Amino acid sequence: MASPQLPNYLLSNRKRLALSQGDVAFLVGHKSASKVCRHERFSRDPGFETALAFEVIFQTQIRELFAGLYQEIENEVAARARILATRPEQKKPNWRTSHRRQTLASIGALGSKDTLS
């Protein structure tokens, strides 16, 4: 079994680039480093724009910067897709319903199988 991921890897990426929290805060557009500190300590998730700014600063995809959070969300979505796939079709089968079933099966195959079970 793979080891669990940290919720995010902001601190390690910041250290890798030798940037201070103040540097990152300025680049993101925050007035102080306190928000960056809260993001690094996992006590606050950044907004979408801030997460995109982190991707630009660290030149690392959001899904890698927030690997643990991504893994958790992937597992939850996959579990919901498996539930949705088991619901009976309310429409007459056609290419669209077939494509829907394939899409849900593909999404359901992601992540670990024990979430929401």
User: Tens of pLDDT along 49-96?
Assistant: 999 999 999 999 999 999 999 999 999 999 999 999 888 877 778 888
88: in domain: yes
Domain count, the chain: 2
User: 15 and 57, same structural domain?
Assistant: yes
Do 82 and 57 share a structural domain?
A: no
Structural domain span for residue 52: 10-65
Taken in order 26, 21, 53, 80, the sign of the CA dihedral is: negative
pLDDT at 83: 93
Q: How far apart are CA 72 and CA 81, in angstroms?
A: 14
Decide if pLDDT at 1 tops 60. no
Q: What are phi and psi of 116, to 5 degrees?
A: 60, 15
